[in-house]
């Protein structure tokens, strides 16, 4: 007797309508508005140019930089290949050291777990650091709906929060703001701030420091993310440059860390590689000013109640994609954003996701899907790229982002069903198979010269070709097709001259 156990289920993606992994508009629609913002483009241009220059300087100092990249890629690939085993080992080690591990299938479950843990403490406030995973799940909004006030402590995150804005960069969430805007945000959002506050960066930082110091000293619960987790020892690590992370990780009584499952590394020694790769690729520094590590609970030192929430939220679905799983190697350095010509001009908000830029255009569709709704905005993200390859060259763990974007475009085409583009391509194939029909079509295309502009291009094609001309100008058809030119006396003479130049003149007796 045979028992059919069924086929393995496809791993779930992040549920539609939850968290911040899907915008309300497609990338082209959102980008048009951002491109008209000259202040935004100026801010982004200055910031990304500065970071690029610093990164190139410090990576050029290392004679083994390429070997470090290879090592980082190999470690992450090994970790993804053994992810279930490593996560179980991590859970065991964290538990042995007095921590508690929670597993969250999606963002909603993670939010419920975190909110429940905070409510158990009786606290109505939390301080937060390195919280990109919680931005992904929409934790702040969830906590606020329950009457719990979250305080972002990273300076850029604080700016975004006080402005009721959204992050636009993985590393520098307020990269789209300049110092004058930040001054106005602080005057409006920080209680008791000096009304004479100017826009000097040191003075702005001091105002934020004074405001946050009181939160650090009085708030009993912290929520953090993690840059890395070590399966071998159960150690968690956060790297940062302001010291706010150290405050959040050591002063509160309860620490709750929300971490994507892809952040796990096999061995403690692997940190040696990533603590060289990450700072150079992200901030252009040789090392991070603050590197904090903790392993469970240490009696009398630091938080005495530690919880680790392991977040899936579509990561298992990405892992199941034989090609796309490479995106899970990302260490969130933002190097790909800083070299991307598309990101530099549109900024992060156009992507509609917590994860902008080239890696976001890959990772977001994998975590949340591209066809969860009609005209899903995520289906436009794989096309938000010139495929120039700069992101691949900059990535410290050598993620081949251009190839992943092409693969996602292929998947999008396969999943889209019958579209105007597919019908147009079928029609073109039918015409090109028939020489007489193809010749007639070429002659008819000459009519397009009548609608060409002065530059000899057609800026707007009729349906169903409108999508093509929406992002590029189309050259007007030539007055003479290549086949007609080749059959003419001029074409024949040109071809004979080219042949003579290549082989030498043909003797008269061989003509």
Say what the pLDDT of residue 380 is: 96
The residue ranges of DSSP E strands in 208-361, in sequence order, are: 221-224, 228-230, 235-240, 254-260, 264-265, 290-295, 305-311
What gap in Å lies between CA 26 and CA 364, rounded to an integer?
13
What residues contact 293, with CB distance under 8 A and at least 6 apart? 235, 236, 237
- Quickly list DSSP for 345-398: HH-SGGG-SSS-HHHHHHHHHHHH-S-SSTT-GGGGGGGS----SHHHHH-TT-
Q: Is the pLDDT of residue 304 over 60?
A: yes
What is the rounded average pLDDT of the residues 202-214?
Answer: 95
What's the pTM value of the predicted model, to 2 decimals?
A: 0.85
- The tokens describing 174, both together, are 């307020």
Say what the pLDDT of residue 144 is: 97
Say what the pLDDT of residue 402 is: 97
User: Mind listing the domains of the chain with CATH numbers?
Assistant: 27-318 (3.40.50.10420), 430-501 (no CATH)
- The tokens describing 292, both together, are 């904090």
Q: Which of 331, 262, 309 is nearest to 104 (CA)?
A: 309
What gap in Å lies between CA 339 and CA 332, rounded to an integer?
14
Provide the pLDDT confidence category of residue 471 given band limits of 50, 70 and 90: low
What is the rounded average pLDDT of the residues 107-116?
Answer: 98
What is the rounded average pLDDT of the residues 35-60?
Answer: 91
What residues contact 205, with CB distance under 8 A and at least 6 apart? 155
- Quickly list DSSP for 476-488: PPPSS-HHHHHHS
Mean pLDDT across the chain: 90
Higher pLDDT, 456 or 66: 66
Question: Do residues 204 and 189 touch, judged by C-beta distance below 8 A?
Answer: no
Provide the pLDDT confidence category of residue 443 given band limits of 50, 70 and 90: confident
Higher pLDDT, 291 or 506: 291
Q: Which of 329, 408, 284 is nearest to 80 (CA)?
A: 329
**Percent with pLDDT over 70 in the chain:** 90
What gap in Å lies between CA 142 and CA 108, rounded to an integer?
9
Provide the pLDDT confidence category of residue 416 given band limits of 50, 70 and 90: confident
Q: Is the pLDDT of residue 101 over 60?
A: yes
Q: Is the pLDDT of residue 444 over 90?
A: no
Say what the pLDDT of residue 503 is: 73
What is the rounded average pLDDT of the residues 134-157?
Answer: 96
Question: Do residues 358 and 332 touch, judged by C-beta distance below 8 A?
Answer: no
Q: Which of 367, 249, 377 is nearest to 311 (CA)?
A: 367
Question: Do residues 130 and 226 touch, judged by C-beta distance below 8 A?
Answer: yes
**Percent with pLDDT over 90 in the chain:** 70
Provide the pLDDT confidence category of residue 5 given band limits of 50, 70 and 90: low
What is the rounded average pLDDT of the residues 38-65?
Answer: 92
What gap in Å lies between CA 415 and CA 373, rounded to an integer?
12
Ranking 33-37, 341-345, 356-360, 452-456 by mean pLDDT, the lowest is: 452-456
Say what the pLDDT of residue 498 is: 86
């Amino acid at each position: 007797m045979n028992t059919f156990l069924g086929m393995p289920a496809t791993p779930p993606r992040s549920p539609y309508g939850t968290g911040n992994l899907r915008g309300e508009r497609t990338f082209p629609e959102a980008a048009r508005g951002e491109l008209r913002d000259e202040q935004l483009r100026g801010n982004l241009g200055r910031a990304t140019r500065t970071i690029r220059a610093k990164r190139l300087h410090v990576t050029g100092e290392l004679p083994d930089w390429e070997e470090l990249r290879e090592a980082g890629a190999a470690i992450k690939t090994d970790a993804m290949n053994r992810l279930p085993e490593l996560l179980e080992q991590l859970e065991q080690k964290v538990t042995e050291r007095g921590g508690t591990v929670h597993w969250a299938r999606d963002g909603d479950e993670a939010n419920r777990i975190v909110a429940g843990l905070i409510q158990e403490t009786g606290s109505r406030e939390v301080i937060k650091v390195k919280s990109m995973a919680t931005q992904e799940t929409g934790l702040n909004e969830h906590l606020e709906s329950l009457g719990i006030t979250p305080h972002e402590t990273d300076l850029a995150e604080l700016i975004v929060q006080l402005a009721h804005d959204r992050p636009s960069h993985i590393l520098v969430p307020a990269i789209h703001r300049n110092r004058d805007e930040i001054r106005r945000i602080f005057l409006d959002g920080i209680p008791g701030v000096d009304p004479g506050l100017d826009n000097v960066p040191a003075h702005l930082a001091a105002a934020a420091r004074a405001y946050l110091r009181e939160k650090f000293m009085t708030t009993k619960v912290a929520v953090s993310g993690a840059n890395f987790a070590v399966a071998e020892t159960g150690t968690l690590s956060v790297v940062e440059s302001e010291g706010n992370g150290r405050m959040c990780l050591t002063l509160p009584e309860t620490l709750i860390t929300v971490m994507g499952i892809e952040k796990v590394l096999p061995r403690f020694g692997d940190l040696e590689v990533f603590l060289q790769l990450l700072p150079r690729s992200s901030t252009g520094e040789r090392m991070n000013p603050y590197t904090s590590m903790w392993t469970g609970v240490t009696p009398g030192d630091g938080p005495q109640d530690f919880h680790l929430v392991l977040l899936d939220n579509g990561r298992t679905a990405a892992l199941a994609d034989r090609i796309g799983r490479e995106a899970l190697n990302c260490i969130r350095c933002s190097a790909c954003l800083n070299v991307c010509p598309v990101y530099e001009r549109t900024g992060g908000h156009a992507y509609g996701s917590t994860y902008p830029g080239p890696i976001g255009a890959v990772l977001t569709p994998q975590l949340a899907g591209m066809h969860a709704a009609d005209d899903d905005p995520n289906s436009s993200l794989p096309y938000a790229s010139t495929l120039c390859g700069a992101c691949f060259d900059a990535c410290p763990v050598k993620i081949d982002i251009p190839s992943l974007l092409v693969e996602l475009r292929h998947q999008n085409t396969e999943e889209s069903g019958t579209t105007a583009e597919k019908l147009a391509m079928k029609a073109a194939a039918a015409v090109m198979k028939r020489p007489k029909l193809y010749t007639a079509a070429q002659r008819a295309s000459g009519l397009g010269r009548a609608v060409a502009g002065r530059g000899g291009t057609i800026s707007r094609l009729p349906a169903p070709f409108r999508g093509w001309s929406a992002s590029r100008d189309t050259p007007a058809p030539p007055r003479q097709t290549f086949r007609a030119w080749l059959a003419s006396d001029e074409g024949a003479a040109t071809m004979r001259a080219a042949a003579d130049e290549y082989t030498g003149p043909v003797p008269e007796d061989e003509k």
